[in-house]
Structure 1
Amino acid sequence: MLEPTQPIALFAEATMGSLNAKMAEGILRYGRNPVVAVIDSTQAGKRVRDLCALDSDVPIIATLAEAQALGAQVLVLGTAPSGGRLPQAWLGVLDQAVAGGMSLVNGMHDRLHPMFADRLRAGQWIWDLRVPQGDAPPICMARAARLNNRRVLMVGTDMAIGKMTAGLELTRSLQGMGRDAAFLATGQTGIAITGRGIPLDAIRVDHAGGAVERMVLEAAEHEIVVIEGQGSLLHPGSTATLPLMRGSACTHMILCHRAGMGTLDELEHVPIPPLRDVIALNEAVAQAAGALTPARVVGIALNTARLTPAEAEAALKAVEDDTGLPAADAVRQGAGALASAVLA
């Protein structure tokens, strides 16, 4: 569907620079396609670098018509409102895009193809990322535990903590060391960036572990697979981490955390325990009291985007002193220390 040469526009109305625009930021940082503009009428006139920790000169504009004038052929919904549902206010923009011959990439739970299929012209398409592909996966049976490769699962203290970003950077670092490493996407942003993967949160819970297992088995020829994490064992609204652990039969984990966080982002009454306790929790659940693969947390991916360089350095040292594990901000420093921990 999405060819790497097609110019795209990212729709991030009223969210650019916020956590809800993580898909837009992920594509800007790691995507293959040329991005002509980000659409956010509340920030029009600025550049991406003005709002995000990205050295990007991509302009932020107010309207779809401006994006079309800049040559955009595909509109990517680059923001994820709470619950992943499509706001009714967006329908006018989507209607305009389809009428103007643009294709659509949609990361919402609501499918766009049924809405616009009868209006698509030759060569025009809609990619609903959260639609599972193929037959229903089998029930998970710990088949991945028989593999001889290293399976690294990104886990976190919260949602939207940087698990995908750290995972992509870890994969790059491992590949840069000459290792055969592959990144396995499990969410809409990772799928949009890599062109493959599974939309884990759109798969029925009984089949979620099996979907992860099938994906990991299909990547068995790789020396190392890095599995994109979702959710958190600490979050009461998240069910994603358990099927990721069970399906991957992970051998290693990287714990992702944002420096300075004491509670969950949107649940201030839920404290984040000491990282040593969070590590013990993830290891206990992954290992299932010894019944399954003896997975270990081998490093901490610390998100220090909101800190000065000096503050970030101090935060990283504090985490290393507290946990006894290597810590790195994979964006600021690269993930070489985490890659070395995986290989140790």
Structure 2
Amino acid sequence: MHNKIVILTDGYSTPFLAKTAISLLRYRTDDIAAVIDGAAAGSTAQQVLSAGGDVPVVASLADVADADALYVGIAPPGGKLPDEWRPMILEALQRKLDVVSGLHDFLTDDEEYRSAAEQSGAKLVDVRRNKHKSTATGHRFRKGCIRIHPVGHDCSIGKMVTSLEVQRGLSAAGHDAKFLATGQTGIMISGEGVPIDCVVADFVNGAAEQLLIQNEQHDFLLIEGQGSISHPAFSAVTAGLLHGCAPDGLIFCYEAGRTQVKGLDDFDIPSMKDQMAACHAMANLRHPCRFIGIAINTRNLTAEEADAELARAEAEFGLPACDVYRTGADKLVEACVALRKELGQ
């Protein structure tokens, strides 16, 4: 993995567009040398993106003394690479920096980028490009390998963050736990995983299953969730992951106050109880499974409102609830350990 990373967000440094950069700044802070955004040069990453502390925001690669890679830090709708970034990407390649992107617009499909990389010896890394072509086998996972999988009421609500924070909490408590990435940002954070939304439909279950088989020596696997079982566009990856990773425990994630599907105007999100019932039924078709907790994104609530929402959710669902940023992940960590004991493992 690279440890002198420059993140490119130039002109796109908003919470909605730069979520990849924000997650990298949160979870790989020590590996980030700088963020490039000309309009905010002279600021810190914390000031611009609310993450990353004193990581500097600079105007160009010339302002970075030492780097080994340029990471594309945005995830815009449609996954297109901004045309205006071409000179900066070519400059990075000429400076022998690897260029890493998680977008659907592949760097390696661009002849000019390929030529520049070949000349300098730098690498082009398209995180979403994959060769998964195996169907699932219904593998019986090792007894003692507890698989925890967050699902949610919509996209972009914190399923990856929930997985990462619970894994961190389990590891801090002395347990053998690993986070398994299934999306581009998670892969860029952990250095491995499966870009599940770019796997051919028939192979989604198999790709997830293989990822877990490669890691079933661990006692806890926290498998990043994708999409939503009720999302009109992205339900397929949700179903594929539920069967591919055959979870023992599910964590339901939602953003407080969100009532409409992201990206689809006037499309209401179905009730959480209905979605939970659907996820539970889908998972149990493959392997015995139950919900062990609730993770709530309370970013749009005051502290008092957040406390009230957590209490309301616990009362409604009869499960421990937390906001992994605001209140920590301890309740979910404890629920994972309790599930392991319940299963006699």
* TM-score computed with the length of structure 1 as normaliser: 0.90
- Residue 196 of structure 1: how far off its partner (Å): 1.0
Which residue does 2:125 correspond to in 1?
127
1:73 to 2:71 alignment = no
Alpha-carbon distance, 1:271 to partner: 1.8
- Whole-angstrom distance in 2 between the partners of 1:237 and 1:171: 29
Instruction: Provide TM-score, normalisation by structure 2.
Output: 0.90
Q: What SS does structure 2 have at the residue aligned with 1:19?
A: coil
Instruction: Report 1:223-302 matches (<5 A).
Output: 223-238=219-234, 239-288=236-285, 292-302=286-296
Q: Is the 8 A contact 1:186 1:230 kept in 2?
A: yes
Shift of 1:32: 6.2
Quote how far apart the aligned CAs of 1:45 are: 3.9
Deviation at 1:263, TM superposition (A): 1.5
Alignment partners' CA distance in 2, 1:303 and 1:186: 20
Contact 2:25 2:52 in 1 (8 A): no
Deviation for aligned residue 1:49: 2.2
Deviates more, 1:214-223 or 1:266-275: 266-275
**How many residue pairs are counted as aligned between the two chains?**
334
Question: Cα distance, 1:169 vs. partner?
Answer: 0.4
Number of the residue aligned with 2:342: none
Partner of 2:325: 331
Deviations 1:98-136 (A, max 9, x none): 223322111112221353233235652222111115xx4
Q: Which runs of 5+ in 1 are unaligned?
A: none
User: Structure 2 vs 1, CA of residues 57 and 33 (structure 1 numbering), >3 Å: closer, same or farther?
Assistant: closer
Q: Any idea what SS the aligned residue of 1:182 has? A: strand
Distance 1:144 1:47, change over 3 A: farther
Instruction: Give the stretch that moved more between structures: 18-27 or 241-250.
Output: 18-27
Residue aligned with 2:78, SS: helix
Show structure 2 runs of 5+ residues with no match: 339-345
What amino acid maps onto 2:332 in structure 1?
A: L
Establish whether residue 102 from structure 1 lines up as the match of residue 101 from structure 2. Answer: no
Stretch deviating more after TM superposition (43-52 or 13-22): 43-52
CA distance in 2, matches of 1:15, 1:122: 28
Q: Within the alignment, does 1:3 sit opposite 2:2 as a pair?
A: yes
Q: Find the residue that maps to 2:6 and give its secondary structure.
A: strand
Rounded to whole Å, the distance in 1 between the matches of 2:173 and 2:67 is: 36
Judging changes above 3 Å, is the alpha-carbon distance between structure 1 residues 259 and 225 closer, same or farther for their aligned structure 2 residues? same
Is the 2:293–2:321 contact (alpha carbons within 8 Å) kept by the matching residues of 1? yes
Structure 1 pair 113–268 and aligned structure 2 pair: CA distance change class (3 A): closer
State the shift of 1:26 in Å.
1.0
Runs of 4+ in 1 over 6 A off after TM superposition: none
CA distance in 1, matches of 2:134, 2:77: 30
> Which of residues 44, 51, 56 is equivalent to 2:53?
56
Q: CA deviation at 1:265?
A: 2.8
2:310 to 316, 331, 335: 316
Q: Distance in 2 between matches of 1:109 and 1:268?
A: 23
Q: Contact between 1:144 and 1:213, CA under 8 Å: does it hold in 2?
A: no
Corresponding residue SS for 2:18: helix
Q: 1:27-75: per-residue Cα shift (whole Å, max 9, x none)?
A: 1111265322222234444332234443612233333433xx3433311
